[in-house]
A and B are shown apart, each in its own frame.
Chain A
């Protein structure tokens, strides 16, 4: 566990975010990254997202506080993260991607990192602004999101050793795969429910007759 959150992993995280191309290359080839750290970053991102929604200043915040449920948002983000990883892995497996599951998980997880300070900074900054200065608030968040997207894209490209075009195509297919996974799992859940109801009705029938 110490190795997963060791000092070198943190330092390498910083290096990866500032030098995505090199960083992700060595993550792929020398195992310099850490999956637990990536998951931790995703969790942090989700928490910061909730913090931003609930405590950004009234001036820029149009969210009803009663609708913010950080645990629900956390489970949503983690589910999306899992779906992205599985979807991307299942597509890139078929399309000559050289990335392993852990590489994909690290690329997406590390990609979330820039959004954490951006959200926190924007939330803090929003406490000191008026409506006219709201543009700066959105600029901070926009920059964070843009940086995160760039890191994620470069990360996925690098761990699979793809060209940019192919990365985008596989990403599109990833979303199709996610929809497919959701469809199949809904089907499965429904089926399980029906089987359960079948046995349950047999049971109640027996109970009533005895």
Chain B
């Protein structure tokens, strides 16, 4: 009986322990999924890289709630510019995020007071000028930061533009030479580029339509009438852009295949993005299922965050995908919902004081996300690797492994450090864990020649001795056989 009692007590303790464990494991309390894809494209859960850190709204700024804001932009001096589209104004928030610096809702144009009409895009150039995509007025307004008008860009004239084209700018971006890149409504031929003087100079980064063989086949056998009734194969529009420090344009589009949601366009307009080992910069890799929540990610904006890192915003599932300069996914977080830190209609993403900002058009709020230790460790380590200081990144990667022992980038980074330190065997272990085949091969090659160098002498000696012994044995056997044969022969004879 005593034994039974003890047994049941032990059982009870075990049950308590087992049921208690998941509660302990759920310490990370964020209202969204945080995950990444491993080498085999399986979903792996990761610690939260960013956590919600409050919101900025018109109400919190005491300037009246925003109405359907469409874009945000961070100026070089740290001010945040919000395109409050529904109220036809630009709200400038200071670096703390608590106070309105000023509100730009009108400017002086040829002696008259002029206003915006649905400003959907905003951008502050390196030369401290404010560019506003004034959609319904069909123009781009360039202002000084104090609100005085510098110039107005409108009515692009060119043979390449279709007849009757109405210029409705949606998003605007400016490079170091004050060239204006503009995404316009219903313009499928690419990004419009304006020179510094406001002259339209051409299209940029045209997305080519690719037809599958099957579609080509059907097109071939369809009659003219049928073809007219078919949906047109047109390229997708760009949705958002950002420009890195060397003038390369990151431009997002909605890719129906979900493979490429962002392009990195060089000054000639060619896509030079690296797509990583999954050959995919289109957000989620797992997109199957049914209903409105399934399907490929719809990338709506991009922010270039320095050191080759960029983040994409997916409006389909409200997620933020962060990639390094090689196109490898670093971390994924975010989601749709109604809690603080989740989105309803995310439209724009920016980096601000080391935080990430996401603008939600429907809820008319800007959500702030602060990096956790995990997130900032990865950011720093990737930045060090980008700068070529891989050895300095090792302690960071080691800490990352303590937080997330399956992190392949960390294993790979540590493995590379061991490799350059000459510890080939440990390097092999880490590079294999990091699924880095090329570097593993290098480490293995060095390890192999190390082994050969140390043991070749012994191996050759053993082989030589064995050879001599075998030869001698054969000789002895031959002789004895000859002798026996001779003996036999003698007896017979």
Contacts and interface: CB of A to CB of B under 8 A. Distances in A.
A20 to B, nearest CB: 35
A131 B448 contact: no
A128 B451 CA distance: 11
A58 interface: yes
Contacts of B445: 130
Contacts of A132: 441
Nearest to A64: B40
Nearest to A57: B444
A59 B432 CA distance: 9
Given A128-B448, A130-B444, A58 B40 contact: no
B428 to A, nearest CB: 9
Contacts of B448: 128, 130
A58 to B, nearest CB: 5
The residue in B432, B437, B441, B445 that gathers the most chain A C-beta atoms within 10 A of its C-beta is B441
Interface in A88-134: 128, 130-132
Contacts of A131: 437-438, 441
Given A131-B437, A131-B438, A59 B40 contact: no
Contact of A130 (B40, B432, B441): B441
B435 to A, nearest CB: 8
Contact of B440 (A59, A64, A128): A59
Interface in B434-457: 437-438, 440-442, 444-445, 448
Contacts of A128: 448
A197 B336 CA distance: 42
A131 to B, nearest CB: 4
Nearest to B443: A130
B108 to A, nearest CB: 65
A60 to B, nearest CB: 9
Contacts of B442: 130
B210 to A, nearest CB: 27
B438 A58 contact: no
A64 B42 CA distance: 10
A130 B286 CA distance: 33
Contacts of A64: 40
Contacts of B40: 64
A137 to B, nearest CB: 12
Contacts of B440: 58-59
A59 B448 CA distance: 14
A55 to B, nearest CB: 14
B338 to A, nearest CB: 37
Nearest to B441: A131
Contacts of B437: 58-59, 131
B475 to A, nearest CB: 31
A59 B438 CA distance: 8
B408 to A, nearest CB: 13
Nearest to A58: B432
Interface in B28-64: 40
A58 B439 CA distance: 12
A189 to B, nearest CB: 26
Nearest to B448: A128
A129 to B, nearest CB: 8
A136 B242 CA distance: 47
Contacts of A58: 432, 437, 440
B89 to A, nearest CB: 54
Interface string B65-85: 000000000000000000000
A139 B445 CA distance: 20
Nearest to B38: A64
Contacts of A130: 441-442, 444-445, 448
Interface string A52-76: 0000001100001000000000000
A61 to B, nearest CB: 10
Contacts of B441: 59, 130-132
Nearest to A131: B441
Interface of B: 40, 432, 437-438, 440-442, 444-445, 448
Interface of A: 58-59, 64, 128, 130-132
- List of 10 A-B pairs having minimum Cβ-Cβ separation, nearest first: A131-B441, A64-B40, A130-B445, A130-B441, A58-B432, A59-B441, A130-B444, A58-B440, A131-B438, A59-B437
17 contacts: A58-B432, A58-B440, A59-B437, A59-B440, A59-B441, A59-B444, A64-B40, A128-B448, A130-B441, A130-B442, A130-B444, A130-B445, A130-B448, A131-B437, A131-B438, A131-B441, A132-B441
Given A59-B441, A131-B441, 13 more contacts: A58-B432, A58-B437, A58-B440, A59-B437, A59-B440, A59-B444, A64-B40, A128-B448, A130-B441, A130-B442, A130-B444, A130-B445, A132-B441
